[in-house]
């Protein structure tokens, strides 16, 4: 066992310390304002985040799960709709589809990119169409900060008339050919869960869109369908980003570009250190800007590596150990219209997320690299 301090895979305290004075000032400003729902702080953050993403509209909500749910509701997706997504994702993606009242159908991912495979999407759309129950929407997930192949996915979505909602919970600021994810489909949805690239000090989320009608629909639906106070024009929900979290997020948003650069720098160090090793390293797709929410390596003896790191007081995580379609709540119940998810299932037993965040010090990075190197020597 190591006598070194425990090295966290993501370090929320270090992130807070980096912006401590500004965060405390913003928090006190909100506490002293007497205004704790909606208002100026939320409006300011929504405008700044829309600008960061390059979208015309942003609507703050209470979580990334709610963002997906709200986006589906605003697109008119609900009971009777089939929504295609991947199984290699946080369970939240599928939970949100079911919250909206729709049925989830899951497809496989590209083995190099870890994201939705457009040819599997086409295969699933064809299969569902022949059964007389076509899919109506698709949710690609930009997992680990790597953008999905949106050009390929949009082509299939247009061919089959699918609404596209991008799950950007792990990809704040990632780009394809210079265009930020979240702006390809009808909606982009974000989580501000504390460990995300842009994290609140609690729960939070947002939807972005370039479509004014969809933005208005989302604004109505997020607060009881109120057009005017206490009068519901639509049957809506309650999901709000509160001013305290909006103020925290506004502080951190100003540093998000630099933080994403810092994550990419950590990723480059890992790439160089493990270039000729037995680890399979994350691949960057062509023309994308990856934002490295996670740095995910693959090895058949991943469990042994994780245990070795744990013994060195180094934390690592598995995102995710059980694909959604294999989890007790979903197994045998969610449809797999393009066949078995062989890539997804193989990945689950091989992947490991190494520590990565913007405040990771050179010393910590060296510790991880040497520990992984030591393990590799004995394997």
Ligand X SMILES: Cc1ncc(COP(=O)(O)O)c(C=O)c1O
In the complex, which residues of this chain contact ligand X (CB under 6 A)?
A: 63-65, 89-90, 92-93, 141, 167, 169-170, 191, 193, 203, 205
Q: Tell me the C-alpha distance between 88 and 122, whole Å.
A: 18
Shortest distance, position 366 Cβ to ligand X, whole Å: 29
Q: Which is nearer to ligand X, 188 or 337 (CB)?
A: 188
What would the DSSP string read from start to end of 34-78? T--SSSHHHHHHHHHHHHHHT-SEEEEES-HHHHHHHHHHHTT--
Q: Which is nearer to ligand X, 63 or 210 (CB)?
A: 63
Q: Which is nearer to ligand X, 187 or 308 (CB)?
A: 187
Contact 88, 143 (CB under 8 A): yes
Q: Which is nearer to ligand X, 172 or 367 (CB)?
A: 172
What six digits make up the tokens of 189?
A: 């949805």
Q: Tell me the C-alpha distance between 329 and 134, whole Å.
A: 24
Shortest distance, position 247 Cβ to ligand X, whole Å: 18
Shortest distance, position 90 Cβ to ligand X, whole Å: 4
Q: Which is nearer to ligand X, 273 or 355 (CB)?
A: 355
Q: Which is nearer to ligand X, 199 or 273 (CB)?
A: 199
Contact 182, 166 (CB under 8 A): yes
Shortest distance, position 91 Cβ to ligand X, whole Å: 8
Q: Tell me the C-alpha distance between 57 and 49, whole Å.
A: 9
Q: Which is nearer to ligand X, 316 or 364 (CB)?
A: 316
Helix, strand, coil content of the chain in percent (nearest 5): 40, 15, 40
Helix and strand numbers, DSSP H then E, in the chain: 13, 14
Shortest distance, position 301 Cβ to ligand X, whole Å: 26
| Burial category of 377 from C-beta neighbours within 10 Å (exposed 0-12, middle 13-18, buried 19 and up) | exposed
Q: Which is nearer to ligand X, 26 or 92 (CB)?
A: 92
Q: Which is nearer to ligand X, 294 or 298 (CB)?
A: 294
Shortest distance, position 66 Cβ to ligand X, whole Å: 7
Shortest distance, position 367 Cβ to ligand X, whole Å: 27
Instruction: List Cα–Cα distances, 33 to 130, 278, 316, in angstroms.
Output: 58, 56, 41
Contact 19, 252 (CB under 8 A): yes
Shortest distance, position 166 Cβ to ligand X, whole Å: 10
Q: How far apart are the first and last CA of the chain?
A: 20
What would the DSSP string read from start to end of 22-44? HHHHHHHHHHHHT--SSSHHHHH
For ligand X, the nearest residue by Cβ is: 64
CA 84 to chain centre: 17
Shortest distance, position 203 Cβ to ligand X, whole Å: 6
Q: Tell me the C-alpha distance between 310 and 298, whole Å.
A: 17
């Amino acid at each position: 066992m190591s006598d070194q301090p425990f090295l966290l895979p993501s370090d929320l305290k270090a992130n807070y310390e980096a912006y401590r004075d500004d965060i405390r000032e913003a928090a006190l400003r909100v506490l002293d304002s007497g205004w704790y729902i909606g208002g100026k702080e939320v409006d300011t953050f929504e405008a700044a985040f829309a600008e960061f993403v390059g979208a015309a509209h942003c609507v703050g909500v209470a979580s990334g799960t709610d963002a997906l749910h709200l986006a589906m509701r605003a697109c008119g997706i609900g009971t009777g709709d089939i929504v295609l997504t991947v199984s290699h994702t946080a369970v939240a993606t599928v939970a949100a589809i079911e919250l909206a009242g729709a049925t989830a159908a899951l497809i496989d991912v590209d083995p190099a990119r870890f994201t939705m495979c457009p040819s599997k999407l086409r295969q699933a759309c064809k299969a569902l169409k022949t059964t007389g129950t076509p899919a109506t929407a698709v949710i690609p997930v930009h997992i680990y900060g790597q953008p999905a192949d949106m050009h390929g996915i949009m082509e299939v979505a247009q061919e089959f008339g699918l609404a596209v909602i991008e799950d950007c919970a792990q990809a704040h600021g990632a780009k394809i050919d210079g265009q930020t994810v979240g702006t390809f489909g009808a909606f982009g949805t974000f989580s501000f869960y504390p460990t995300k690239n842009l994290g609140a000090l609690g729960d939070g989320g947002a939807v972005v869109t370039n479509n004014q009608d969809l933005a208005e629909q989302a604004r109505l639906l997020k607060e009881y369908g109120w057009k005017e106070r206490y009068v519901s024009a639509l049957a809506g929900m309650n999901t709000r980003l509160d001013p305290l979290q909006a103020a925290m997020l506004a502080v951190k948003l100003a540093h998000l570009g630099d933080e994403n650069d810092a994550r990419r720098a950590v990723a480059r160090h890992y790439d160089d250190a493990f270039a000729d090793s037995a680890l399979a390293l994350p691949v960057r797709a062509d023309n994308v800007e990856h934002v490295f929410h996670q740095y995910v390596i693959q090895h058949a003896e991943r469990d042994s590596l994780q245990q070795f790191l744990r013994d060195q007081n180094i934390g690592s995580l598995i995102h995710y150990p059980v694909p959604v379609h294999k989890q007790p709540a979903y197994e045998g119940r969610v449809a797999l219209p393009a066949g078995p998810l062989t890539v997804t299932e193989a990945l689950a037993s091989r992947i490991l997320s190494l520590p990565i965040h913007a405040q990771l010090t050179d010393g910590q990075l060296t510790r991880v690299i040497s520990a992984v190197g030591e393990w590799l020597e004995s394997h």
